[in-house]
């Protein structure tokens, strides 16, 4: 008896004109933008990822002041070198002084710590949410499912409410909205 050969399933090739399945799981994209490459003149297709704060502002979930407060926190977070992105130092500090951080980083870390204190600390719901969603740029859903508050998952709608409230407190802290009594 002749043995029948089984056909191998065909592996479908992904289109190079669309983002891969791996990339799509990491966030939404705006509509692609067609431009001419400045060097060669050939048409290219750019896809831009949307950040959480920008999406919330576009949906009307947060105000412009809340968005600006999130942008200030994110800028301070990056300047403090807390985001986990590391690059080789282009200017090495003297080994004799033992300094590992610049003055700018120290000042930025103080500002981040002051903002987190206003939010109840990094261990609180608002502080943890802002640290991960605004600082480390996790999605709200990802923070809610993986981290949550106190190590427990939080419903995504509740997590979004925590972020909105935290951004309002940050906006008042940075003086973007007046304090009301």
Question: Residue 66 pLDDT more than 60?
Answer: yes
Kindly tell me the burial class for residue 127, based on how many C-beta atoms sit within 10 Å of its own C-beta (0-12, 13-18, 19 or more). buried
Tell whether 46 is covered by a domain: no
Look over the chain and give the mean of its residue pLDDT values, rounded to a whole number: 79
Tell whether 112 is covered by a domain: yes
Q: Which of 78, 27, 64 is nearest to 171 (CA)?
A: 64
Angle subtended at Cα 86 by Cα 145 and Cα 122, rounded to the nearest 5 degrees? 40
d(CA 102, CA 91) in angstroms, rounded, equals 11
Domain containing residue 103: 52-173
pLDDT in tens, 124-172: 889 999 999 999 888 898 889 887 767 788 898 899 999 999 999 999 9
The answer to whether 44 and 37 are in contact (CB under 8 A) is: yes
Least confident of 24-33, 88-97, 118-127, 157-166: 88-97
Q: At what angle do helices 156-173 and 52-59 cross, to 10 degrees?
A: 90
Kindly tell me the burial class for residue 70, based on how many C-beta atoms sit within 10 Å of its own C-beta (0-12, 13-18, 19 or more). buried
Tell whether 37 is covered by a domain: no
How many structural domains does the chain have? 1
Angle subtended at Cα 155 by Cα 154 and Cα 159, rounded to the nearest 5 degrees? 70
Tell whether 160 is covered by a domain: yes
Tell whether 162 is covered by a domain: yes
Tell whether 18 is covered by a domain: no
What's residue 61's pLDDT?
93
């Amino acid at each position: 008896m002749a043995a029948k050969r089984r056909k191998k399933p065909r592996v479908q090739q992904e289109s190079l004109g669309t983002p891969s399945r791996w990339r799509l799981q990491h966030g939404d994209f705006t509509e692609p933008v067609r431009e001419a490459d400045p060097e060669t003149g050939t048409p290219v297709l750019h896809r831009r990822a949307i950040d959480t704060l920008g999406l919330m502002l576009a949906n009307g979930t947060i105000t412009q002041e809340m968005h600006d407060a999130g942008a200030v926190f994110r800028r301070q977070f990056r300047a403090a070198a807390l985001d986990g992105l590391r690059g080789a130092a282009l200017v090495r500090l003297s080994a004799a002084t033992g300094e590992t951080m610049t003055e700018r980083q120290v000042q930025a870390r103080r500002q981040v710590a002051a903002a987190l204190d206003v939010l109840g600390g990094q261990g609180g719901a608002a502080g943890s949410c802002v640290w991960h969603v605004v600082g480390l740029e996790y999605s709200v859903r990802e923070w809610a499912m993986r981290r949550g508050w106190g190590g427990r998952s939080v419903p995504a709608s509740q997590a979004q409410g925590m972020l909105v409230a935290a951004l309002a407190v940050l906006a008042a802290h940075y003086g973007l909205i007046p304090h009301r009594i």
